[in-house]
Each structure stands twice: as structure tokens, then as C-alpha cells.
A and B are shown apart, each in its own frame.
Chain A
């Protein structure tokens, strides 16, 4: 149980999204402003998906990252550094699989439609 009152942050987000969705349908705005509302809607949906999925994705890839690096600590920065120094190379299948799976999970948050197009 949260120490914060209802509405929860998720419920607040839903309320804002509902408002934005209605405004997009309204004729009160210029074409340019309706376009901006669409961007707002997309951004809020990213936030919503990250709130719902982000923590689990972070945990999963933290553990996968530890396996990949065979070290006690993991960070995205460390993987980049090891690719740059060629301690991890393009022929490393576990590296390729890790990065491929990671991009899939990231895009599920950022723009899941991109996977279906």
C-alpha cells in the first residue's frame, strides 16, 4: 500500500491521457496544435508503458548483463566501453543476442507499433 493518496500516479497519467485524447478530437485547435497534442499523447504513452514495464525490463537486463560481462557490476556504459575497446566483439553471439533482445524491449516501450509495421 502506497503512502500516497489516490489517484495513484498511474491513475493520474490515465486521466491526463483521457483529456488529451478528447482534445485531439476537438475542433477548437489549429492543425499545428492538434499535431502537438498527438506528440503529447505519444509521449504520455511512452511514460505509461515505462511505468508499467520499465522496472521488470531493467531487472531482466541487469541480470543478463551480469552474465554477459561476467562481472559483479553491470551498466550499459560498461558494455559500450567494452565494445569500443574490443573486449566484446561483433562475433560474440551472446553480445549480439543481448543487444537484439534489449532493443526489442526498449522499442516495446518507445514505439511498439514499430515492431508490427
Chain B
């Protein structure tokens, strides 16, 4: 039995029948815990710090989930947090919400047809709920303006010393845009399929808060429209589900903010650039020797997908 499992059993005061590794996020080691009484939980903890250049500490993730839940957004309940100096590290245990997270299954399988029609509205409405979270309770989170986000992104990009002229062009394009100030809100930071737990009836839960920060609400909406998160349904701009009108209608039904579509374009382009640079972050974690990972090596060749998307937006004004 691993030290980590021993630690979990001792903390939960229960025997663990099975500890199943799940696919991790940018900075998380995630496991499904099946207890002796068959109850299931999820544990998320930090991994190598160099790799987690953009991620917040796990204890803060847990705090956000608790705060957001209190404001009525669908997120899993936190069961326990931990912060150990040894190899166990820091993390938290949360309830295991049943449902599907795999985007292509949700977008293609017949049993999700009913919910697929409702999801653009529901995803928009839930996002507006998240954006109404009282941010005074989350002072530890970084607050960033658009300009600051762009500068931060450029510093990360430049640190790899691998010039991508399309990225440089995108930075210049974005620098010239006029950004509408909608006020500061809690931004999820990775609001997309893969981080939604969906049942056949509804959006059950929103997970993976490691990129959360305080910023412009349009960042989450734009990110949701990035082509990479449409999982093959290219013509359906809103998360591969449908047109953005339903998404915006859902958002506006639960918010005083009126979405300007031209702002959504800007934030979508920003999102594609950000995803391209996140791909670089991951691949350089492999190239620098911090971690030896086939997945991280391979993701470096997805940068060209984001370059293609950026050029389509810049040259052709094509946001589909």
C-alpha cells in the first residue's frame, strides 16, 4: 500500500478498496477513491511545481469551490483538505459526482441528445451564477486586467525562446483592441467541456478550478468558444453544442451584464492564444526534463492548431 493511500485511510478513518488514477489537469494528480463501503470520492493534489506555472494552490481551489457552492453554482462538495510537508503534498478530497465528462461522448452519444439541446443555455446560466460570487471572500486570488493578462502570457511565451510569429501577431492584434470593463468577477479560467460533469438530465457539476482568478467575465465566455473546445463540431461555436445566441441568452437570463458579441470575438482570440501558450508550457515541462511524458511531448505539436485558428480569426475574421 502506498504512503498516500495510508494517509487517506487514516484521514478518512476508513479502508480504501481501490485508488484509481484519473487523467490529471495541468498541475493535478487526481484519483478516484472507492471506500470499503463502496462510497466514492475524488482526491486532487498538487504535482511538480515547475509544471504548474499558471495554476493556483490546491487549498485555494478548495476554498473557491466552497465559496462558489455557497453562492448556488453546481460544484462538488469538499470533504477534506490537507497540506503535508512530505511527498503527500497539498490537496483536497471532494464528493464524486456521477455523470460524464468526456466531451465526445456528450457531443455524440444518443443518450445525451435531450440535454445537448438545453446545455448552451444552462452552461451560460451557470457561468453567470459563478460570476456573481462575492469576490471579497477570495482575496488570495490574483486580480488581473486584460492588459496584465496579456503581459503575463507574453512573459511565459517569451521564456521558452521559441518564436511563433503567429503568436506575436496575435499579441499585437489584441493590444490594439478596446476592452469593455464589465467589472471584476471570479473567472473559472478553464470553463469548457472536460470540466463539466453532465448527466442525461442536466449540468451536474463544474470542476477543475486550478486556473481561477479575478478578471473580466468575457474571458470565460470567450474560452468556451475556442475551437479546440468544440471537439470536432467546428460549426457550433458554443462549446461544439450550438450557436452562441443560446449561450448568451442563458448568461443574460441570470446576469445584469449584456454581452457584446464583438467583445466575445476578442476574448475568443485571446483564448486561442492562451491555449497555444498552455500547450507550450506543457511541452516545455517535458523538453526541460522536469517530467518525461509522451502526452506532454505530443501536445507541443498542437500549437499549430491554435496558430491556424488565430490566423483564421485575424486574416478571415472567421470565428467559427
Are B294 and A114 within 8 A (Cβ)? no
Within 8 A of A (CB), among B108-129: none
Q: In terms of DSSP, what is the predominant structure of the interface of chain B? A: helix
Task: Specify which chain B residues have a CB less than 8 angstroms from the CB of A77 in the assembled complex.
Answer: 163
- The one of B168, B176, B304 that contacts A80, using a Cβ cutoff of 8 Å: B168
Within 8 A of A (CB), among B274-320: 294-295, 297-298, 301-302, 304-305, 307-308, 310-311, 314-315
Determine if A58 is an interface residue (Cβ-Cβ < 8 Å): no
Report the Cα distance A46→B301, complex, angstroms: 8
Are A103 and B308 within 8 A (Cβ)? yes
Are B294 and A39 within 8 A (Cβ)? yes
- The one of B232, B295, B304, B315 that contacts A107, using a Cβ cutoff of 8 Å: B304
Taking residues whose C-beta sits less than 8 angstroms from the other chain, chain A's interface range is 20 to 34
Are B298 and A39 within 8 A (Cβ)? yes
Determine if A14 is an interface residue (Cβ-Cβ < 8 Å): no
Determine if A12 is an interface residue (Cβ-Cβ < 8 Å): no
Q: How far is the CB of B83 from chain A (nearest CB, A)?
A: 29
Question: In this complex, what residue of A is CB-closest to B305?
Answer: A114
Task: Specify which chain A residues have a CB less than 8 angstroms from the CB of B168 in the assembled complex.
Answer: 79-80, 83-84
Tell me whether A96 and B234 are in contact in the complex, defined as CB-CB below 8 angstroms, given that A90-B169, A114-B308 are known contacts: no
Report the Cα distance A92→B149, complex, angstroms: 26
Task: Specify which chain A residues have a CB less than 8 angstroms from the CB of B305 in the assembled complex.
Answer: 107, 110-111, 114
Are B304 and A40 within 8 A (Cβ)? no
Q: How far is the CB of A77 from chain B (nearest CB, A)?
A: 5
Report the Cα distance A86→B169, complex, angstroms: 10
Are A106 and B304 within 8 A (Cβ)? yes
Produce 1/0 per residue, A73-87, CB < 8 A to B. 000110111011010
Question: Most A CB atoms within 10 A — which of B295, B301, B302, B310?
Answer: B301
Are B172 and A83 within 8 A (Cβ)? yes
Report the Cα distance A17→B310, complex, angstroms: 32
Are A110 and B166 within 8 A (Cβ)? no
Report the Cα distance A80→B305, complex, angstroms: 18
Q: How far is the CB of B44 from chain A (nearest CB, A)?
A: 18
Q: How far is the CB of B299 from chain A (nearest CB, A)?
A: 9
Taking residues whose C-beta sits less than 8 angstroms from the other chain, chain B's interface range is 20 to 34
Are A43 and B304 within 8 A (Cβ)? no
Tell me whether A86 and B304 are in contact in the complex, defined as CB-CB below 8 angstroms, given that A43-B298, A117-B234 are known contacts: no
Q: How far is the CB of A29 from chain B (nearest CB, A)?
A: 15
Task: Specify which chain A residues have a CB less than 8 angstroms from the CB of B315 in the assembled complex.
Answer: 96-97, 100
Q: How far is the CB of A11 from chain B (nearest CB, A)?
A: 23
Task: Specify which chain A residues have a CB less than 8 angstroms from the CB of B165 in the assembled complex.
Answer: 76, 79-80, 83, 99, 102
Determine if B71 is an interface residue (Cβ-Cβ < 8 Å): no
Task: Specify which chain A residues have a CB less than 8 angstroms from the CB of B301 in the assembled complex.
Answer: 43, 46, 110-111
Determine if B173 is an interface residue (Cβ-Cβ < 8 Å): yes
Report the Cα distance A96→B316, complex, angstroms: 10
Task: Specify which chain B residues have a CB less than 8 angstroms from the CB of A97 in the assembled complex.
Answer: 315
Tell me whether A96 and B298 are in contact in the complex, defined as CB-CB below 8 angstroms, given that A80-B164, A111-B305, A117-B232 are known contacts: no
Report the Cα distance A113→B30, complex, angstroms: 31
Report the Cα distance A97→B307, complex, angstroms: 13
Report the Cα distance A117→B307, complex, angstroms: 16
Within 8 A of A (CB), among B121-174: 163-166, 168-169, 172-173
Determine if A89 is an interface residue (Cβ-Cβ < 8 Å): yes
- The one of A89, A96, A104 that contacts B314, using a Cβ cutoff of 8 Å: A96
Q: How far is the CB of B178 from chain A (nearest CB, A)?
A: 15
Are B298 and A90 within 8 A (Cβ)? no
Are B172 and A89 within 8 A (Cβ)? yes
Are B304 and A111 within 8 A (Cβ)? yes
Report the Cα distance A63→B46, complex, angstroms: 47
Question: In this complex, what residue of A is CB-closest to B306?
Answer: A103
What are 11 of the A-B contact pairs (CB < 8 Å)? A43-B298, A43-B301, A76-B165, A80-B163, A80-B165, A81-B163, A86-B172, A100-B311, A103-B311, A106-B307, A106-B308
Q: Give 8 new A-B contacts, CB below 8 A, not counting A43-B298, A96-B315, A111-B301.
A: A39-B294, A39-B295, A80-B163, A99-B165, A99-B311, A103-B308, A107-B305, A107-B307
